[in-house]
Chain A
Amino acid sequence: MNNFIPFFVIIPLGAAFLISLVGKLSRRLADFLATSGGFGLLALSFFTLWILNSRAGVVLVYKVGGWVPPIGICMAVDNLSSLMLSTVNTVSFLVLLYSLSYMEKYTDKWKFYTLFMLMLAGMNGIMVTGDLFNLFVFLEIASISSYALVAFGTEAEELEASFKYAVMGSLASSFVLLGIALLYSYTSTLNMADIGRTLAAHPAGLLLNFVAVLFLAGFGLKAALVPFHAWLPDAHPSAPAPISAMLSGVFIKVLGVYALSRVFFNILGVSQGVLFILLILGTVSMVAGAFLAIGQSDIKRMFAYSSVSQIGYIILAFGIGSPLAIFGGLFHLINHAFFKSLLFLNSGAIEYSAESRDLKKLGGLKEGMPFTAATGIVGSLAISGLPPLGGFFSKLIIILAAVQAGYLWLGLAAALVSILTLAYYLKFIGFAFLGKLPEGLAKIKEVPLAMRLAMLILAVACLASGLLVAPLFKSLLQSASDCLLLGTGYAERVFSAIR
């Protein structure tokens, strides 16, 4: 029954292997393998979502090699991971669809697919694993392939960005590894549930604090929280647009937010101190990211800072820690996955047709690229939190939760940053799509069908994601946030699933 779980890793790994074998021979075959791999994962993740949603409070556990945990390695999928898996694989499938046309202009498209699939294997692995060291391994697989993908264009700027990213990313990985090593030395186990159980039985005191600092810094670097964010505004814009969409849309959420919240909420247990730090990191990121975004004239750089700001909202919500806040945070996470990947794909479409992503050199693209303009406007208004698009509801819930928990000023800050967000996205719309078409772009053409299709589906997702709070779909988010609220009860749930 649970035998399908490893396929979340097997499919992308297998696809990466096959593509690297046959990619040189036939371009079409590589396209086919990548797209069908992406589609397979999409189907699988929705199947998992469907199975889990019909039975609340269940963890699907797969014992690798038949060894019983905590001695053997296990994979555990609960409502939270299945919701994240569905989001990630939806976005990655659409990005693959988009890449069909977009990546034509690069040589060695098959290498791109190989790296992409490796990155996906890493991300999926993080979400399905029940073992802390495996989490680190998958984190490294995802990170290292993303370093390569950022440098994919091999121009000076891209290589520099990739180098910075690699240095800071390795720093993050070593923090995480050190944290895991310290935990292992204390608990003598690497199984996440078992660590949780051991820590509950034997509180670790100061050591736990040190581990918490290491994890906060490590995952904070991956999630690009201020002051650990500095690699992101270089790395995300330098990558090819589909990869930017993946990195900003889902990558930082899986490696940063998901790993952070899983480790803290379900394994180490959240104390008031951790929540307070999350609150501060979230607020600072939210505010600083928005201020930095408004000054940019490079579209992708603006979006990259915007990701810092929006991740800030999510971490702020987790830091509030009330059920409503976590619900809102997860909701915003899913919304952000949709609209940020849409926006990066949009910037890619602009770069594809207009060959520039400098706002000062663009304008009036509404005329030549009405489709890109329409989806871009939808994405921008959604992320700015204008109703009735999805982003409005998640921001509303986060602000409501902040006020309810007594953090009135944080609610006010969130509302004001929302105005700033609106301002810089209107700057983007205004300079890219409205205004006068520059002389050189008079004959601009709309992008190919595959790219338009991917953007269309994401735009529809942005329009419809508000429905996730409607009674019919609310249980999806509710059960996912219950997984986090369960706290260290996670261990109990996993062990009862093994028995």
Chain B
Amino acid sequence: MIQRILFNSGLFKIDVLSSLVLLGVIFFTVLILLYSIGFMRGKPGRGQYYTYIILTSLASLAVCLTNNLVFLLVAWGFLGITLYLLIALAGPQAREAAKKTLIIVGGADALMVLAAAIIYCLTGTLEMDKIRISLSASSLLPVLAYLCLALACFAKAGAMPLHTWIPDCAENAPLPVTAFLPASLDKLLGIYLLARVSLDMFVMSRTMNMFLMLAGAFTIVAAVMMALIQHNMKRLLGYHAVSQVGYMVLGIGTGIPVGVAGGIFHMLNNAVYKSCLFLTAGSVEQRAKTSQLDALGGLSRLMPLTYISSLIASLSISGVPPFNGFISKWMVYQGLIGNWRLANGKWEMSVYLLCLVAAVFGSALTLASFLKLLHAVFLGQGEVLSKRQVREVSAWMWFPQLVLALLCIVFGIFAYQVPLKYFIGPAVGNNIEFFGLWAPALAAILLFVGMLAGLLIYCSGNIKQLSRRDKPYVGTEDIPAEARPTGTEFYRTVKEELGVLRGIYRKAEAGAFDIYHQAKDLIFGVTNFLRYLHNGVLPTYLVWCLLGMMGIFYLFLK
């Protein structure tokens, strides 16, 4: 009975892809709720917080399950509202971030309404599994509909150019919210919908695929460059949340099974390690009461469990084998190479090559910026902080972190055996062709054996004193605390000493590349003109009425 109502009416439908996202949603909801028990203890507005989290989760489930475009719009838009309310809970300073977030996310929803309207007019149905629109036709309508939907996915997942809410949101929202929504759930849903739209509802044209790939590649590099120069841990992670979306969009844009599977797998992996990273950032902030990189340091001894989770997740996001981030990136690269082989014409070939270079380069820069993060937060000198009784967070909080870190390892080493076999493979139709050789289990064993051997050799030499700590010195002089280089110092060269980059960074920080600010300036320009016209003088207004009447009369007589 229930099954008939839910599934036979065409309102709901479940397949492998949606069940994968469904599982992800439930998993992250449980973990975030666990973490929140520790994080939100004693904070005001808990009742509202938990209500909104549960509502978010329910709406996300509805997004995964629905097969009706209007119902999808409703659930999708509702997520924007809950996100807004959750960010607003953080307190007075979150006002601007909340507003920006909902304008971008909700604004993209308005475009999605237009897309739904166009699709309905083209196909006469709102049931997603019956929609199959070809983009190769030269008509405008399908392209506009696809672009509107893709923009909505971009806004939700945070791909450029609609990414700018994510760093602001990461900086201001309560941390579990960032870990829950922009880092995991919004990625899952945004990429889920992008995959659904690009793979099922539309027949992609080559140009559209190129558009997706270029958008993805650009997102990877631009966002990671911004991440490099951040001084706030949460904002840095926020830019990485943007950068990683690029890989997923790139993967789906390749359009061949291994690339698409890589994109979807990366979506899953990203949700795992990125929420892990945000959770550890939350733990650090809760104990150290700051998220400024310059003020942190040396926490590895004080918060070992958080450190380990953060380390694993950092390596994973940087694509270091054998963790999970590597393997999905590897699959995306394979998708690109596969396309490169099929390419006709030098122009196409160079696009694929460009994307490949951007992806690999982005991965290297990611590693660089995470070295900065790890060094500034956990390593380095932390004498200032240790006095303040920084200790490990409660079990409610470290348990979810460790679970996620463990998942990074499992998904990496047993990639073929677990996630690819059960989730990703069936979702793209089980016809993934891998080329190149990568046996993660074997590689992991070799790596661990190698490390173990190294450790043995090290220990055999220093058996009496396993670790040694010296005060930092130059020559024979101790360096005074204020003269020591901080973790962020090394990266200042990127921002200040490379001529071309310096100008771009300066503009980026002034908001020149933020579509939100640009649109705002444009709108206020028009507004000011219109306000200038409204001078408050009655005769002017009467003249307008007269002119209006004349205009109408002219239209009638024409």
Contact = CB atoms under 8 A, between A and B. Distances in A.
A388 B78 contact: yes
B110 A385 contact: yes
A228 B545 contact: yes
A319 interface: no
A163 B117 CA distance: 44
Contacts of B114: 399, 403, 411-412, 415
A234 B530 CA distance: 15
A217 B84 CA distance: 42
B558 to A, nearest CB: 8
Interface string A185-222: 00000000000000000000000011011001100110
The contact size tier of chain B is: 35 or more
Given A167-B542, A220-B548, A396-B116, A291 B527 contact: yes
A230 interface: yes
Nearest to B70: A396
A392 B556 contact: no
A395 interface: yes
A420 B523 contact: yes
Contacts of B542: 167-168, 171
A315 to B, nearest CB: 13
What DSSP secondary structure best describes chain A's contact surface?
Answer: helix
A399 B76 CA distance: 18
Contact of B555 (A171, A277, A420): A277
Contact of A422 (B96, B103, B545, B557): B103
Interface in B503-558: 523-524, 526-528, 530-531, 534, 536, 538, 540-542, 544-545, 547-549, 552-553, 555-557
A364 B92 contact: yes
What DSSP secondary structure best describes chain B's contact surface?
Answer: helix
A430 B544 contact: no
A432 to B, nearest CB: 11
Interface in B68-90: 70, 73-78, 80-81, 84-85, 88
Instruction: Count chain B CB atoms within 10 A of each CB in A233, A415, A420 and give the residue with the most.
Output: A415
B199 interface: no
Interface string A429-447: 1100011100000000000
Contacts of B549: 213, 216-217
Nearest to B111: A415
The contact size tier of chain A is: 35 or more
Given A292-B527, A364-B92, A415-B113, A387 B78 contact: yes
A146 interface: no
A396 B523 contact: no
A396 B527 CA distance: 26
B106 A384 contact: yes
B95 interface: yes
A164 B95 contact: no
B98 interface: yes
B545 A168 contact: yes
A167 B75 CA distance: 48
A387 B80 CA distance: 9
Contacts of B531: 292, 295
Interface in A359-418: 363-364, 377, 381, 384-388, 392, 395-396, 399-400, 402-404, 408, 411-412, 415-416, 418
B102 interface: yes
A385 B121 CA distance: 21
Given A288-B530, A292-B531, A416-B110, A434 B544 contact: no
Nearest to A171: B545
Interface string A262-284: 00000000000100110010000
18 contacts: A168-B538, A168-B541, A212-B556, A213-B552, A217-B548, A217-B549, A221-B545, A231-B541, A291-B526, A295-B530, A392-B73, A392-B74, A395-B110, A400-B121, A416-B110, A426-B99, A429-B99, A434-B98
Given A385-B113, A426-B99, 19 more contacts: A167-B538, A168-B545, A221-B545, A227-B544, A273-B556, A291-B530, A294-B523, A377-B85, A381-B81, A387-B74, A388-B74, A403-B118, A403-B121, A404-B117, A412-B144, A423-B107, A426-B103, A430-B95, A434-B88
Closest 10 CB pairs of A and B: A230-B541, A419-B107, A387-B77, A295-B527, A387-B74, A400-B117, A227-B544, A227-B548, A418-B110, A436-B92
